[in-house]
Amino acid sequence: MKKELHPRYVEATVTCACGNVLKTRSTVKEMHINTCAACHPFFTGKAKHIDTEGRVARFQKRYGKAK
């Protein structure tokens, strides 16, 4: 690599809003994020599906049930 051309790649600290701290390497020394794998509902298994009326039920309600 040519000197003085590329940004410095240093150890970085990533801090989540939930308090989780991750160590990685980046061109930015400190980062603050809103969600991480420790608090995101998809990764924690606490995701809720808010589908009160399904697509099939809406279709049947609108066009009537098949004979």
67 pLDDT above the threshold of 80: no
| Tokens at 16, concatenated | 């989540």
CA 50, 55, 60, 62 torsion: positive or negative?
A: positive
Closest CA to 47 of 57, 55, 39: 39
- Between 8 and 45, whose confidence is greater? 8
In the chain, what's the furthest Cα-to-Cα distance?
75
Query: 14-61: per-residue pLDDT in tens?
Result: 999 889 999 999 999 999 988 888 887 776 777 666 666 677 778 888
For 10-63, CATH number? Answer: 4.10.80.400
Where are the domains positioned within the chain? Answer: 10-63
* Confidence at residue 32, expressed as pLDDT on a 0 to 100 scale: 93
- Summarize the confidence of residues 3-21 as an average pLDDT: 91
- b/e sequence 37-51, b meaning 16+ C-beta within 10 Å: eebeeeeeeeeeeee
> What does pTM read for this prediction?
0.56
Strand partners, 7: none
